[in-house]
Structure 1
Amino acid sequence: MKTFSSSQKILVGLSLVFLTSACLTPEEPQADLSNSELASLTETALPGEENLRKGKAAERAYFERFKNQIIPTSTEAGLFFPGSGIGNATHMGKAATYLNQQFITVNGLPATIGAPVTDIYSNELAALGLNVADIPAEVSSITIDGKGNSVWFKNIQNIVKAPDANGIQTFQAVVEIVGGSGKFEGATGSGDVEGFFNSVTGKGESTIKGRITF
């Protein structure tokens, strides 16, 4: 029989509290973005967007900030943390994000690893114009503007801290840009992720700072 250390039992307990509180309460949060939020993504393109589409590939700064809703999901493969959010990204303006992470422990400490975003959000991404079959399994998050442009991220490393006294969990990650669609087709680059989420409600925020070539 497999036994767990005290720290592992605490972490498993925290994840189960998060799962049951987020998924079984009457005010169940919804992973899907609202119709009005999705409709707002098709607003007028940013000034100079057409020039970016036609220009030669160049390295540029990249930044995005999102307000997210995480929905823990338990499957036979383990505990996952899919989520979605609305915010802004450079070279896109108003945008949405879809992500998927799998919960693990490393030396008794909480962590996550990237999981295929298409396992959870294939329908939503297809509705926003993506050919889901073209998205590699290594892509764990996608930022998309609803006008045919998206950036695809592969998770490289994650550090997640246990909840503080207020139930807030912070995280840091390193991501690699491994493609995209529209003006970001064939994009490459990397970035650093920072953020937090409430371990009871699943609500949180995230930012990515990095460089992108497209």
Structure 2
Amino acid sequence: MLVAAAFLAFSVPPYLTFDPAASRLPPPPGNDFYHPLLVAHVLFGTVAMVTACFQIWPAFRTRHRRGHRITGRVYVFAGVLPAGLLGLYIGWHTAAGPSVRVANLVGSALWIAVTLIGLRAARQRRFGDHRRWMSRSFALSMSIILSRVITVVATIALTPQVNTTFGGSNELMTYSAASIGVWLSPLLLLLLTDWLLDRRKPGVRARAAVAPAH
């Protein structure tokens, strides 16, 4: 929650001015819809990230079941779904190249899909499946934070190659670093999520407890 709060405190304020000049993602030339939709995407994404933290908070989920259901509905219908749908538009019109475009489109579509699967499982009272799919949805909600970190690390690592690998184009190097970030962050978080979920299965713990020592 602290990491999410710090990220939002740094990332959201420039978009609250509704000034395209303050945006960290400059609008494509001649596209008057891009910045307003980007602002909406950021605001809905903020709702998703905040409510997602409450969804995975064990004490809140146990003591406030009605609150868990309410924040869950807010997470889906006022967070993930509008943010994900707008993310498809923003991703399609990115200026960061085709690799980032495809990553954004795949990421937004996957975010929507796993969230809807998790919602359907809850409505069918398959709470084990609900927990697994919403854990994956949470991972995708937070992947933007890791993406920024990986992009910074990739930029530092690739900068010495500007005059060789990238033919002197700093812009091409920047796009490549961004591509690494947007592809690698959701992949790592989804793998970590499933690994943690598998480790917490009762059968896994039981087998680990009786495994012979070598």
Larger Rg: 2
Which structure shows the bigger proportion of residues in helix conformation? 2
TMscore range, shorter length: under 0.3
**TM-score of the two chains, using structure 1 as the length reference:** 0.26
Q: Which has the higher strand share?
A: 1
State TM-score, norm by structure 2: 0.26
Q: Which has the higher contact order (CA 8 A, sep 6+)?
A: 1
